[in-house]
Structure 1
């Protein structure tokens, strides 16, 4: 059974500008541009979701913006759970712009919206809810040290393991900057490259498992070596595990290889609930090779999965017509066939209930282009309650006036003809009530809450 994984970190637009060395001296360089959605958190989640692991993202995006709309669509299309994606119109655009010459990174500028968020009481509640519903948590170092502290505190309260992925040599210090006086183990697993490890150690590299793990406060540390694989250092062993070489034929880009490796380790652990590195090595080779053969930082076949995902969403949306079909069927029966007042009264309540469920269901899946996930249940329930409330309200209004028609129904003397058309009205009213409640529910969920930005370390 695959465990459910929560990934907390930054998601952003990637803009990669590539040019030939002959243009290096020009201020305005002619070259190629590539646009995609990236960020360590997204890359890891997309790799795992591509292999049908249950993955949720906790991140922040700018609401009502180009980057926010593209990012939300990409997350949903990649089959990643979206219920913990937070939106705020006061954030900056999330993006990463890089210049590359013949495959080598020359310079880059990044802006991570999540770093602008203070993890205050409101965010902490959302984080606690997210962490509580997952087996283990992944963080990347696009989170500030203060944000990492908050995540660690909650994970300790919930006894949840943390996997940490470093994103760059300029941010590797965040792995050790929070709780600086504490020497006890914090992470279950940390991944970084050799250059980043040496920067943390700050003196001549010592290849000692216990020393490295203690320094990073992790039970296990994986140090990547580019095309040459990786080395595993364990707190419980003096012996290091060195990986087999990657299947590197047909490489299109090395972009995202480190994230793919990290994803494979998460995938292995979610199935085994422990590390068996020889088995894991084969999975790493599979994940990394697939990304190396892709133009981007995620598997090339992900695009095909996206198309399939869109088809699945349409199929899921069709489910919303099932309650509507039954409510319409009951309406027709109540209009033409039902003679028993008691049966009519049941239809009187069931029709708006089912119509309300259908309205909420339809708007949730088609209006917001979301997946059929657990977060739809409150919407369906509220839609049904709204429709039922509509039926009960109308029933009570008739009861209050105690009309002749209502007297006949209460005495079980049949259904007056002038009461039959009302069932059609309840069908439409319940449908509208369900739609309205889901809209209101969505607005409340995504209401703009202003936070005071914390000082995040660059």
Structure 2
């Protein structure tokens, strides 16, 4: 891997508030548990997992430099360029609140990012100097459309995280709008079932406007669909993870790292990369 060719991750960061209890979930009840707050968001989580595994990253996001718990040595945070604001939101104004039981998510609510503005000129410059671009469906339709257009214009691969069943349609709509495909679209089984329900699924990649679609299914592994009609099933070795929350972000980080190392999307090495990244997941 050429260290000057950094992986560019684009998307909003926010504050994660997670409430975890060991008691069974019961509506309208107050129970003792543990509440944690941390810097989060899909884009930040992916960038952080790449940094943990020693891949230099550019994170184009809102201003998080006031927070001390991110990897400053490996993550180049870009929120302003030449005193021009790249993204307008700040983490304390947006967030993600999750209720968990025994470290497994029960439900969650995230803030909307409809007012997120960005500089097209600086966005293009960032994409131009990067080896691979990762975006997520927390972003706006306009931002995703521009990222896809600029990336394809500079011949850079674009990977996207579906984030959730209520948000992944934004990424699909952006690709339809500019009539371009992503190189990899990652979703989980729940998101897949939600989207393909009552739709004709003769070609999964056409449905998600991507050359490759990865569907993760927890301990059961993942399925990878390719636009050439090929289908692969990967069974990742079972690891003793404290929680499966954030595993999708770690998985996509691993796929991106393998692509940069191999200079292509190579299914044959994904098990090794995903296993290594999962072991290092924090």
How does the TM-score come out when normalised to structure 2? Answer: 0.87
- Map residues 146-295 of structure 1 onto 2, 5 A cutoff: 146-178=142-174, 180=176, 184-203=179-198, 206=201, 211-236=203-228, 238-248=229-239, 250-291=240-281
CA gap 1:88/1:149 in 2 versus in 1, 3 angstroms: closer
More displaced stretch, 79-88 vs 132-141: 79-88
Question: For 1:275-330, what per-residue CA distance to the aligned partner results, in whole angstroms no more than 9, with x for missing partners?
Answer: 22222211111212332xxxxxxx3xxxxxxxxxxxxxxxxxxxxxxxxxxxxxxx
Does the aligned pair in 1 maintain the 2:46–2:249 contact within 8 Å?
yes
Matched, 1:75 2:77: no
Distance 1:116 1:246, change over 3 A: farther
Shift of 1:141: 0.5
Shift of 1:76: 4.6
Q: Helix, strand or coil for the counterpart of 1:81?
A: strand
Deviation, 1:29, is 2.6
1:349-428 aligned within 5 A? none
RMSD: 2.5
Q: CA deviation at 1:271?
A: 0.6
CA contact (8 A) 2:19 2:98 kept: yes
State the partner residue of 1:359: none
Q: 1:205 to 1:195 in 2, by over 3 A?
A: farther
Shift of 1:162: 0.9
How many residues matched? 275
What is the DSSP-based 3-state SS (H/G/I as helix, E as strand, rest coil) of the residue aligned with 2:139?
A: coil
Corresponding residue for 1:429?
none
- CA distance 1:191–1:179, shift in 2 (3 Å): closer
State the distance in 2 between where 1:25 and 1:235 align.
Answer: 44
Rounded to whole Å, the distance in 2 between the matches of 1:44 and 1:233 is 22
Relative to the length of structure 1, the TM-score reads 0.55
| 1:180–1:60 CA distance, 2 compared to 1 (3 A) | same
Deviation at 1:32, TM superposition (A): 0.8
Give the structure with the higher percent helix. Answer: 1
SS of residue paired to 1:29: coil
Conserved in 2, the CA contact under 8 Å of 1:68 and 1:93?
no
Question: Shift of the alpha carbon at 1:134?
Answer: 0.7
Cα 1:17/1:127, change in 2 over 3 Å: same
Q: CA deviation at 1:20?
A: 3.4
List structure 1 runs of 4+ shifted beyond 4 angstroms. Answer: 84-92
Greater strand percent: which structure? 2
Determine if contact 2:187/2:214 at 8 Å carries over to the other structure: yes
Q: Helix, strand or coil for the counterpart of 2:46?
A: helix
Look up the match of 1:37: 39
SS of residue paired to 2:77: coil
Decide whether the 8 Å contact of 2:52 with 2:280 is kept in 1.
no
* 1:145 Cα offset (Å): 1.3
- Rounded to whole Å, the distance in 1 between the matches of 2:36 and 2:57 is 26
The CA deviation string for residues 204-229 of structure 1, in whole angstroms up to 9 with x for no partner, is 684x5xx1111112111111111111
2:191 alignment partner, SS class: helix
